[in-house]
Structure 1
Amino acid sequence: MKVAIIHDWLVSYGGAEKVLEEQLALFPQADIYTLLHKLGSQSPLIESKQIRTSGLQRLPIGDHRKLIALMPYAAEQFDLTSYDLVLSNTFAIVHGVISTPDQLHMAYVNRTMRYAWDTYHQDLAAFGVGGGIKRLAASLGYHYLRLWDLAAFQRPDLVLANSPFSAQRLQKYYHREAQILFAPVDTEQFAPAETRDDYYVTVGRLVPLKGIDLMVKAFTTSGRRLIVIGDGPQLDELRAMAGPNIEFTGKLSSPQVAEILSRARGYLAMAEEDFGIANVEALASGTPVIAWGQGGVRHTVQHGKNGWLFAKRSSESLNAAVEQFERLDWLSPQLIAQSAQQFSGAAYRASLRQQINSALQRREQEN
């Protein structure tokens, strides 16, 4: 079976790219298509593959976000007619690639274009889009994206969502029923340390939606030690507001991240993620998760067992949650780590293979 895996863009390494690695483990001979590729931005596994890019790759524009209006057209230009299976690993655009009637197109949804739908108004405000011509242009652009996005999600033969939270959004905005296939986590990379240190940790890109500013504010007030792993456009702003008890490591290697996670007292999460791979990586390290209880975290963290969920997204609520967390007796790190195994890469690959085989069998019966 000839397989094409389509990925939105390869310009940084995060959760969707970890999913791509598991898909490549299942289909090592698959061809990779992506709208844009920043050479050297990916893991050795991904970089070792032949990566086919769109015409956008030739444009002299460094910020891929400035090309979003051209991406629907660019995705539709990929010629995929020679493949039996088209697997779109989407978080923005590539579910809209065009396949033929005799091909199986399966879309795995890491997240949808929330900035065009449910977070539209707050994202415009966050990026400083006020009134006047700038607001009108942005509104018309997003209106076009919404129309295209709705049509594009009707193209896959089968849609897989990475959590019930994602599936609910797919039904509401796109009227698509989605099968649940939880995102894969390389749990074998993580294990509890023999001893714990007295610090908390968070991992992620330093952007507003992650809520790291709220963590920094909370821990600057409380004086507890916090390690922030990752980089991004908010780094200077966060450093300026942080107390001496807060450490910014920048981007670290996977083994370095695993080491810090394994010795942490707790892991912090303040974003509404569709799934939240980093949360499960913390659990696999035997580290309980303290999180704002919205989004996919509700399906990975069991309140009072392997973590603590709180209702209000604020620095005050986070400090109150940490105080409650520290008063409780918790499961052993080994039992917390076991709770992450249901999200392993092996479990993902087995379920994905089963979904593909079932879909192919249904097509044969229909024909």
Structure 2
Amino acid sequence: MNSERRQPTVAIAHDYLTQRGGAERVVLTLMKAFPEAAVHTTLYDPEGTYPEFSEANVITSPLNRVGALRRDHRRALPLLAPTASRLRVEADVTIVSSSGWAHGFDIPGRSVVYCYSPARWLYDSERYLGAPAHTSATGIGLMALRPALVRWDKRAAARADRYLAISEVVRDRIRSTYGLDADVVPAPHSMDAAAAQEPISELLDWQDGYLLLVSRLLPYKNVDVAIDAARQYGRRLVVIGRGPEEARLRAALPANVRMLNGLTDEQMRWAYAHADVLVAPSHEDFGLTPLEAAAFAVPTVALRGGGYLDTIVEGETGLFFDRPEPKDIAAALAHSDRLDWDNDRLRARAEEFGEARFIARIRSIALDEGRGS
């Protein structure tokens, strides 16, 4: 009798593929872990996210037919819960990459939720919006939908077979929000310092060094505070990212700050390689960019809290400041400039969070633990 068991079929689910961020990077790594897996998502904007997704079998919801929603997923808020509930994923095991919607997909097989955070816009609305909810139309609409969305969200979380947390702080948040225990599986970084680089023409006159900030341009990211710190400290700062805050930030940009977006991976590697220090001023669920910087032996100055506590070793791969205030960031930068950073230690820290370890762990959870389920 053949004692071998059939290999479980695997699918990947993700909230929406409309932007370039750390969560989308994780999905690209999941695609490497499970090359045959289809990627199920509500919305997919090839122009707005990483080009590598064109190589995947991306299955979208009916909402994807509406171009305005693909370009700005926030407009779809009233429709996302019912749409997610009807998006069926056929597989023995589904790896669910989620911070709000994909854990609510119709998943008849075993589901493993890789959670970046319980929805910030739902449980931490004021920080997400950058102001009290009642002060904006978006916030007022969100508050009107909130009771129903909370009920939907918690029912969706309860259906999962297993929860994984991206960091210690997210594990605690999952426990307090859903009453679930989650194992911590740190996200990988995919920044290969040895790979090809492409110079960025807008920065050729700055290639001898600058401060670097890589972030979505949202209110809670504190990009404006970092810009003020660079102005006060008199250092050049490069901000890389997109988001609804872009127009406001550009309107008051000092001469020593430049903003870029839409860079290729080769250009991103060039940007990291020519930076002196990474500035990370927001309260993040996981500290990914300090690992990407460390791969190029670039230290980080970061806000003390959140996922940065998992990825930065204070005094060895970075320094912390306690408040997102310009003077606190400037003081930490001055301290960093006085230190002699160990390049080998920085690179070794990045290697601890490499893709190979993550892929081995997630395949074990999906395939080895999923057999016979």
What is the match of residue 351 of structure 1? 361
What is the match of residue 225 of structure 1? 236
Residue from 164, 167, 170 that aligns with 2:168: 164
1:137-152 correspondence to structure 2 within 5 Å: 137-152=141-156
The 1-side partners of 2:107 and 2:176 are apart by 25
1:55-66 correspondence to structure 2 within 5 Å: 55-59=62-66, 61-62=68-69, 63-66=72-75
Residues 1:341 and 1:97: Cα distance change in structure 2 (over 3 Å): same
What is the match of residue 105 of structure 2? 97
1:77-226 correspondence to structure 2 within 5 Å: 77-80=86-89, 82-100=90-108, 103-117=109-123, 119-123=124-128, 126=131, 129-130=134-135, 137-189=141-193, 197-226=208-237
- The percent identity for this pair of structures is 28
What is the match of residue 328 of structure 2? 317
The 2-side partners of 1:139 and 1:145 are apart by 10
Aligned residues: 354
Q: Secondary structure at the match of 1:57?
A: helix
What is the match of residue 345 of structure 2? 335
Residues 1:270 and 1:305: Cα distance change in structure 2 (over 3 Å): same
Q: Secondary structure at the match of 1:205?
A: coil
Deviation digits for residues 288-333 of structure 1, max 9, x if unmatched?
00001110000100111110011111111101111122222222x2
Instruction: Work out whether residues 127 and 220 of structure 2, in 8 Å CA contact, stay in contact via their aligned partners in 1.
Output: no
Please state if 1:16 is matched with 2:27.
no
Residue from 82, 86, 89 that aligns with 1:73: 82
Residues 1:338 and 1:123: Cα distance change in structure 2 (over 3 Å): closer
Letter in 1 for 2:356: A
TM-score, normalised to structure 2's length? 0.88
The 2-side partners of 1:126 and 1:183 are apart by 29
Instruction: Work out whether residues 190 and 262 of structure 1, in 8 Å CA contact, stay in contact via their aligned partners in 2.
Output: no
The 2-side partners of 1:139 and 1:58 are apart by 27
TM-score, normalised to structure 1's length? 0.90
Please report the RMSD computed on the Cα atoms of aligned residues, expressed in angstroms. Answer: 2.3
Deviation digits for residues 34-72 of structure 1, max 9, x if unmatched?
101113333333112221111212346433112122212
Q: What displacement does 1:124 show? A: 5.0
Letter in 2 for 1:157: D
